[in-house]
Amino acid sequence: MIWEAKVRCRQTFLIAVIAMSLLASCAAESEQERIEQADFHYKLANGYFYENQIVMALRELTQSLELNPDHPDAHHLMGFVFFGRKEYATAERHFRKALTLRGGFHEARSNLAAVLMATRRWAEAITVLDPLLSETLYATPWVAHNNVAYCHAKLEHSSEALRHYRLAIMHNPEFCLGYNNLGALYQTLGQADLAIEYLERATARCGQYPEPHFHLGEIYAAMGELEQSRSAFRSCYQAAPQTPYGRRCRRRM
């Protein structure tokens, strides 16, 4: 009788172990299915986003994050959508979550800094961007240097701003925005010759970029070179007549 009881106990134990194993296996399969479904909805959202179907993209992203709240790409794209809608607090929350989930998510870091810049949190943006400056695998270091420079310029750290703008164009000698921003900073500092030099480099590389033409027009006007000033404003307007700079330049022609 004792032996039979022991056998029955062993059988009961084995059945329990098998049942637990089956439950664990089913749970793992269910979790894997949720992760795969979340990724499927993220991919749909990504497609909708690039087709400019933003409402559909948001619907799919919401489903993706309901299935897998730790999907870094879904958080990043959600942040990008809300950033475009100027809902900065929501965008910031999603970018920070994406960066927490994937520490080396350079695009999320860059876009988080863009939100901070849009909300005029210059020093905080510099701190966020700083790791990208020494990241050898970051594909667009000139963008990070340009943004750090812009923040330093807003904080009136002129020497740091100049240094990072120069590094931006060193990394990418065709970076028109960097030349424009460097020229505009020299304009602010009252160094007209250097301002003209870098602004002309911007216009030589990107003739349809209106902002450097506008700055040149202002500099020449301040110098009393009215014909050159009108010519610069005319080029600005012709480059982009329907933009804010184009309209400002039209009034100055």
Q: What is the pLDDT of residues 62-104, one digit of tens each?
A: 999 999 999 999 999 999 999 999 999 999 999 999 999 999 9
Q: Give CA–CA dist 69/72, Å, rounded.
A: 9
What's the pLDDT at 5?
Answer: 47
What's the pLDDT at 7?
Answer: 44
List the one residue out of 129, 101, 104, 93 whose CA is nearest residue 114. 129
Domain boundaries, the chain: 31-119
Q: What are the residues whose beta carbons fall under 8 Å from the beta carbon of 139, sequence distance 6 or more?
A: 106
Q: How many helices (H) and strands (E) does the chain have?
A: 13, 0
What's the pLDDT at 6?
Answer: 47
Q: What are the residues whose beta carbons fall under 8 Å from the beta carbon of 234, sequence distance 6 or more?
A: 249, 253
Asked: is 31-119 a CATH 3.40.50.2300 domain? The reply is no
The pLDDT of residue 111 is above 70:
yes
SS3 content of the chain, % helix, strand, coil (to 5): 80, 0, 20
Q: What is the pLDDT of residues 119-160, one digit of tens each?
A: 999 999 999 999 999 998 899 999 999 999 999 999 999 999
The answer to whether 116 touches 88, Cβ cutoff 8 Å, is: no
pTM listed for this prediction: 0.84
Q: What is the pLDDT of residues 183-208, one digit of tens each?
A: 999 999 999 999 999 999 999 999 99
Q: DSSP code of 139?
A: S
